[in-house]
Structures are given as C-alpha cells and as structure tokens.
C-alpha cells in the first residue's frame, strides 16, 4: 500500500511538472507571446481568435504567479481554452475524439506486441539454440531498427495502395457514421489492422530479446531445477515457474512502453491519417493552434502517467515482495 | 590510484563471478588474462569484441557509413541540391538512385544526408551520456536528499513522453539549426541513462575500493570519475549507442513531420520531400527507400554493437553463447545439455 501511495505521489508531482511546462511554453517564446503569435499568424487570425487566445493564456498584465494560478484553476475546471484551427470549438471537445482513437490504436498495439513478444521470448529461451532463439531476435531487431514512419509508409504503399488489401487512411470508412453496429465495428477493425501491425512489428523485437534475457537468468535458479526434479510437465515449469518470475522486470518495461507507444503512435497516426491525438497535435503545430497544442500535450502526458500508474498497481499484485517494502 | 581494483574486478564484468557448473575449455574463451596489480591495457579490453561476430559486423557497417559521410565531397562532388534532370526518373546508370520530385539526384542526396544525421546523432549520444553520467553518478554516490531530488527530476523527465514534447517544443520555439536540435534532443533523452548509471553507481559504491579511496582522502570528484566511472565504461558505452540510435530516429521523425529545417540535406528531410512530392502515389519508390534503409542500417549497426557489449559484459549471456558454440562444434544436441545456464568460471 505504501508503495502505491509513493508512486501516486510521484505521478502527481510529474503531472504538476507537465502542467507547469505547459504554462511556461508560450511564455518561453522570445518576446511577448501575444504579439509573437499575432505576427506569426500574419493576418490569418480573426479578431475573435486573438481575443480568445489572450483569454486562453490569461495573458494579462497580472504578475506571473497570478497568471499561473488562473491557468491551474481553468485547467481543473475543464476549460482548456478555445482552438484556433477549429474555432470556436473548445479544446476539450477536439481532444475527446482524438483520445478515443489513440487509446484504441496504442493499447491494441502495445498489448499485442507485449504478449506475442513475451511468448516468443519464453519459447526462445526454453528451446535454446532452436530456430526461435537464433534467427528471430536478430531478425526482429533488424526490423525494429527501421524508423516507424518509414516502415509505415512502405507498408501503406504496398498493402494499401498497390495491392489494395487494407484501407488507405482514417479510422473508419468515409460515409459511415459512428454507431455500435456491426458494419461500423468491422470498418474500424479493418482500418486498425495496418497501423497497429506496423507498431507491433517494429516493437516486438525488444520484447523478445528482453524476455529471453530475463528467462535465461531465471532458468538458472534453484526452484526451476526443483520443479523439474519434482516431475512437473515441461509446460508447467516453463510458464508457471520460470516465465512468471521472468515476467516481472518486463512488466516495468511494459509501463515505459506504454509511454513510448503513445508517442510513437504519433508518427503512425500521421502516416495513416488516423485521427488520434498525435495526428491532431501535428495539425495543431502546422496551424499554429497554441491552445490546442497545449491541451493535447497535457492530455498525452496525463494518459502516459495514468497508464504507468495502472501498471504499477498491476505490478504490486503480481510481485508480493513489493508489498512488504 | 588504488591498485587492488584489478583483482577486485573480473576481467570484463563489473559484477563478481559466480561459481560455475560448466567450465568452458580455455582456448574457446575470449577472456582477458587477469594480471595482478595492473589494469589490462586497452587492446586487451577490446579483444573480446573482436572475437564477437556481431560486434565486428556492426563496427564494419558503422565504419562504412562514417567513411561515406566524411568522403561525401569526394563521392558526390558539387551541391546535392542542384537540379540535374527531369523529375522522378527511375534508377539508371546515369543516376544510380534516380531523381527526386524536384529533379535532384537521389544518390547525391543520400550520400550528403549522412553528414547531418550522423553528426547530430553522435553529438546527442555523447552529450547525453555525459549529462546522464554527471547526474546519475552524483545521485548514486551521494545518496540521501541529493539522491531523492535528482531521482525525482530524472523520473519526471523520464515519464514525460519524448516525441510529443519534442513536437510541442519545436512548435512553440520554432525550428533551428543542427545545434538547436542537438540541445532539444539532449534535454529529452538524458533521463534513461541517468537512471541506469545511478543504479550501477549505487551497487559499486559499497565496494571496498571506494571506502579505501574515501579514507585515503581522495577528492569526491576523483572518486566518482576516476575510481568508480572506469568500472562502468561498458554500460556508459552501451547507453551512448542506444541514445545515438534514438537521436537519429527522433531527428528523422521530426524532419519527416516537417518540423526540421527543410533546407538542410539529411535523411529525414529527404524522406520529407519524398512524401511531399507524392512519391508513393506516383510510385517513385526510389526516393523513399535509400534514406530509410540507411537509417535502418545505421540503427541496426549500433544495435549489433550494443548486443555484443551486452554479451561480453553479462557472464550468463556470454556463457550461453560459448556453450552453444562448443556443443554445436562437438556435434551434440543442445536440448540434451539441460536447462541450467552455464556460467563461466574463471580459471585462477
């Protein structure tokens, strides 16, 4: 319990740090933020947008701590400002749709990658010298060296464009409206396969290697020898004794991978025009939509922190040694 | 300098040796002869890597790319941005990799692109490792409140997602030259190495040679960087290679997204322009493949070297490989060898 409380305290501090960073970013730009933004927009912004922007930043002549306090208050009351690009939609509305898609893509990709990678790593370490052990890790590491976006672009070109196996862009077919019917779900699924597959293929090598290395360490332990001496079946020793303990360091890595996926998914979303948080973030940057950029960054950071916290809770349940600390 | 260090520390791994079950025949091993009272000279420390196929392959690939980057003016003289022919010509004997959407030579652009990509990547790797070593080792050595504070800062930096932070930073602060990107990439990637080096410092700190150095009045700076750090060089090197891979990937990603400096020739910007000119839709695969493949090969080379460093420094992995090599040579099946991982016992 103490472990969880300590981790919660840490995540709260990290959340506060990202909130402060968000606050400081527009003020870090050289010169007065308002005039810089106006100059950069070069007449592309309507007067209402300028007013909204000033309000969104609390850009007043108040001293910095007052501005900071106003900003924190507005964030906690759910007011993240008004978007420029999607004016007059509030930032929270724009983010809501993006969050759902990013979670779908990111969670699917990282969970599948983790499960498949760990199983391959377990099998590879168990059957030492076999094909899984000698061929697969270097091959997967090589594939994992390719930059996400490049692999995604090539996959999109061949599988989407040339051979027309998978759809080219977006999260569901144009013309369909979101509803809980079979047609929509099927469309979402078919649009999800290619983006998720590219993320999985690139990241699976790390899991295979990590799991294999920890398994090799665990297999030398006495309790594995004891289990075999007791006459338990190979499968039971492999999964219930060895893998269960080898899994623990990888659970911590899983938490970190969640963070990576949410940022790596950014590029995948851009290549596939998948309307998640990352895609929206890039459009916001291109359109100089500062409130939206801030809101999206905050949302991405909070998602990563929440995911890590949930993984920590999972870790406590899986490793009894931590509870006694 | 305290001389007991050499016998305190086994030849390649900072951790102590573990009594083994299998002894590998001596001729097979790539172990450094332990010499009492003297640190093994540099060549002896490098030799295990030379026996490792992966390390040699990785190093050769890297050397190739470095040579290409340095010799760029010789291989492709002139300005790679010059328009030399019609747009989107397929590879031919005249233009080995074809031409881009603007009529530039893809081969020249790929060769020249190596410079900025490799340069920024390596600078980020070096600077990040230096910063990580400074913060991580200070936290690990001093412990207590300093450790708590530095660890908190490290963890916060670690958990904030890097690429969105990079995108937002570039969005607010605008783009810039190579040094701007080096700074931004360093700031977002030092945390991981700091954590790794900190935990290694924590375990080394308890060793006798550190207490001896403290008691004999060595300055703290010397203890940390002259006594403790040399025992972690392989870890720091692995960290540097990993960070370089990350930096090259992140830089290329930013450039591909259009947030880099589009006038600089780099592998990432080559891909950006290829994407912008609708390369895939017109089927001009030759504008996309070379730069992407180059990034992958460089990253793979670093990964190979990292893999080899891992194997050389982790006694279990090394013994595993030696055992399987030995068994394969003697024709026996690996399955019959049993489940336990053999660990090399150093012949005294």
- Cβ A305–B307 below 8 Å, yes or no? no
A225 chain-B contacts, CB cut-off 8 A: 339-340
pLDDT-based confidence at residue B173 (cuts at 50, 70, 90): confident
What are the tens digits of pLDDT across the range B272-329? 888 887 777 777 788 888 888 899 899 889 888 887 877 777 766 677 777 767 776 7
Tokens of B17: 């040796």
- Cβ B253–A148 below 8 Å, yes or no? yes
Q: How far is B268 from chain A (nearest CA, A)?
A: 10
pLDDT of residue B243: 92
Q: What is the mean pLDDT of residues B196-218?
A: 87
B171 vs A13, A144, A285: nearest CB: A285
- Cβ A157–B280 below 8 Å, yes or no? yes
| CA angle (A257 as vertex; A136, B136 as ends), nearest 5 | 105
Distance CA(B263)–CA(A176), nearest Å, equals: 41
Residue ranges of alpha helices (H) inside chain B are: 5-8, 42-51, 53-70, 72-75, 106-142, 144-159, 162-173, 178-205, 208-215, 220-222, 233-256, 267-276, 279-282, 289-313, 315-329
pLDDT of residue A46: 67
- Cβ-count burial B141-157 (b if 16+ within 10 Å, e if not): beeeeebeebbbebbbb
Q: What is the pLDDT along chain A (325 residues), one digit of tens a residue?
A: 788 888 888 888 888 888 888 888 777 766 555 665 666 566 666 666 666 666 655 555 667 788 788 888 888 887 777 777 776 778 888 888 888 888 889 889 999 999 999 988 888 888 776 777 778 877 887 887 888 788 888 888 888 777 777 777 777 777 777 777 888 888 888 888 888 888 888 888 888 888 888 888 888 888 888 998 999 888 888 888 888 888 888 888 887 788 777 777 888 888 888 888 888 888 888 777 777 888 888 888 888 888 888 888 888 888 777 766 5
| ipTM of predicted assembly, 2 dp | 0.77
- Cβ B156–A293 below 8 Å, yes or no? no
Our measurement of the distance from residue A101's CA atom to the centroid of its chain's CA atoms, rounded to an integer in Å, reads 11
Question: Which class for B304: exposed (0-12), middle (13-18), buried (19 or more C-beta within 10 A)?
Answer: buried
Our measurement of the distance from residue B184's CA atom to the centroid of its chain's CA atoms, rounded to an integer in Å, reads 18
- Cβ B167–A281 below 8 Å, yes or no? yes
Closest alpha carbon within chain B to A307: B159
Residue among A126, A254, A297, A303 with most chain B CBs within 10 A, to mutate: A297
Closest alpha carbon within chain A to B192: A256
pLDDT of residue B6: 36
CB pairs under 8 A between A and B: 159
- Cβ B339–A145 below 8 Å, yes or no? no
Q: Could you give the count of Cα atoms lying within 13 Å of B200 in the half-sphere of its Cβ?
A: 25
Contact B299, B247 (CB under 8 A): no
What are the tens digits of pLDDT across the range B53-107? 778 888 899 999 989 888 888 888 878 777 877 777 778 777 788 888 788 888 8
Q: Which of A57, A65, A18 is nearest to A38 (CA)?
A: A57
Distance CA(B245)–CA(B342), nearest Å, equals: 32
- Cβ-count burial A94-111 (b if 16+ within 10 Å, e if not): bbeebbebbbbbbbbbbb
Closest alpha carbon within chain A to B160: A301
Residue among B52, B163, B314 with most chain A CBs within 10 A, to mutate: B163
pLDDT of residue B4: 36
- Cβ A14–B280 below 8 Å, yes or no? no
Question: Which class for A76: exposed (0-12), middle (13-18), buried (19 or more C-beta within 10 A)?
Answer: exposed
pLDDT-based confidence at residue B240 (cuts at 50, 70, 90): very high
Distance CA(B31)–CA(B41), nearest Å, equals: 13
B296 vs A29, A146, A217: nearest CB: A146
pLDDT-based confidence at residue B128 (cuts at 50, 70, 90): very high
φ, ψ at B104 (rounded to 5°): -90, 160
Closest alpha carbon within chain B to A215: B341
Look up the pTM and report it.
Answer: 0.78
Q: Is A192 helix (H, G, I), strand (E, B) or coil?
A: helix
* Bridge partners for A82 per DSSP: A90
The full set of domains in chain A, from first to last, is 1-85+288-325 (no CATH), 91-286 (1.10.3720.10)
pLDDT of residue B136: 92
Among B42-51, B52-61, B188-197, whose mean pLDDT is lowest?
B42-51
Distances (CA, A) of A287 to A84, A91, B10, B171: 8, 14, 58, 10
């Amino acid at each position: 319990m103490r472990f969880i409380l300590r981790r919660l305290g840490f995540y709260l501090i990290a959340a506060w740090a990202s909130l402060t960073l968000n606050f400081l970013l527009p003020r870090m730009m050289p010169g007065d933020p308002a005039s810089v933004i106006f100059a950069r927009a070069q007449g592309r912004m309507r007067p209402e947008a300028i007013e909204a922007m000033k309000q969104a930043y609390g850009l007043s002549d108040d001293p910095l701590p007052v501005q900071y306090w106003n900003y924190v208050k507005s964030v906690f009351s759910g007011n993240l400002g008004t978007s420029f690009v999607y004016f007059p939609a509030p930032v929270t509305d724009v983010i809501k749709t993006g969050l759902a898609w990013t979670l779908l893509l990111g969670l699917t990709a990282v969970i599948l990658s983790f499960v498949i990678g760990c199983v391959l790593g377990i099998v590879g370490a168990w059957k030492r010298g076999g094909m899984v052990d000698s061929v697969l890790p270097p091959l997967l590491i090589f594939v994992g060296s390719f930059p996400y976006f490049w692999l995604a672009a090539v996959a999109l070109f061949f599988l989407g464009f040339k051979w027309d196996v998978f759809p080219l862009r977006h999260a569901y077919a144009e013309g369909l409206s979101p509803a809980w019917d079979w047609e929509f779900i099927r469309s979402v699924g078919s649009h999800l396969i290619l983006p998720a597959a590219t993320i999985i293929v690139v990241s699976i090598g790390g899991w295979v290697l990590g799991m294999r290395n920890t398994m090799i360490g665990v297999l030398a332990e006495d309790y594995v020898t004891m289990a075999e001496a007791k006459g338990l079946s190979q499968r039971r020793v492999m999964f219930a004794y060895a893998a269960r303990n080898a899994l623990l360091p990888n659970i911590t890595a899983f938490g970190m991978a969640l963070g990576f996926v949410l940022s790596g998914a950014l590029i995948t979303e851009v290549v596939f025009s998948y309307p998640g948080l990352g895609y929206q973030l890039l459009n916001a940057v291109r359109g100089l939509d500062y409130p939206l950029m801030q809101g999206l960054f905050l949302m991405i950071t909070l998602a990563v922190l929440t995911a890590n916290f949930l993984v920590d809770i999972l870790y406590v349940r899986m490793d009894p040694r931590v509870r006694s600390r | 300098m305290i001389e007991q260090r050499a016998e305190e520390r086994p030849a390649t791994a900072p951790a102590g040796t573990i009594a083994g079950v299998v002894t590998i025949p001596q001729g097979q091993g790539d172990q450094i002869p332990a010499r009492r009272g003297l640190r093994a000279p540099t060549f002896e420390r490098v030799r295990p890597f030379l026996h490792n196929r992966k390390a040699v392959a990785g190093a050769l690939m890297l050397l190739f790319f470095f040579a290409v980057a340095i010799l760029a003016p010789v291989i492709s003289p002139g300005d790679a941005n010059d328009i030399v022919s019609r747009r989107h010509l397929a590879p031919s004997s005249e233009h080995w990799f074809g031409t881009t959407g603007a009529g530039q030579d893809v081969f020249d652009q790929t060769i020249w692109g190596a410079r900025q990509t490799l340069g920024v990547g390596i600078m980020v790797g070096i600077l990040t490792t230096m910063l990580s070593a400074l913060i991580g080792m200070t936290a690990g050595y001093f412990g207590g409140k300093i450790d708590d504070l530095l660890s908190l800062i490290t963890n916060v930096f670690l958990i904030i997602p890097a690429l969105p932070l990079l995108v937002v930073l570039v969005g607010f602060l605008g783009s810039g030259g190579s040094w701007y990107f080096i700074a931004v990439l360093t700031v977002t990637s030092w945390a991981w190495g700091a954590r790794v080096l900190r935990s290694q410092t924590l375990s080394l700190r308890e060793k006798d040679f550190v207490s001896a150095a403290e008691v004999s009045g060595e300055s703290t700076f010397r203890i940390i960087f002259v006594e403790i750090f040399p025992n972690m060089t392989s870890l720091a090197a692995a960290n540097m290679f990993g960070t370089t891979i990350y930096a090259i990937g992140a830089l290329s990603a930013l450039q591909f997204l259009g947030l880099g400096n589009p006038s600089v020739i780099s592998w990432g910007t080559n891909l950006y322009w290829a994407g912008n000119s609708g390369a895939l839709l017109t089927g001009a695969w030759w504008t996309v493949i070379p730069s992407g493949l180059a990034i992958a090969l460089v990253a793979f080379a670093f990964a190979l070297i990292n893999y080899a460093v891992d194997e050389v420094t982790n006694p279990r992995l090394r013994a595993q490989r030696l055992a399987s090599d030995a068994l394969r040579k003697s024709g026996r099946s690996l399955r019959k060898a049993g489940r336990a991982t053999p660990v090399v016992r150093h012949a005294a």
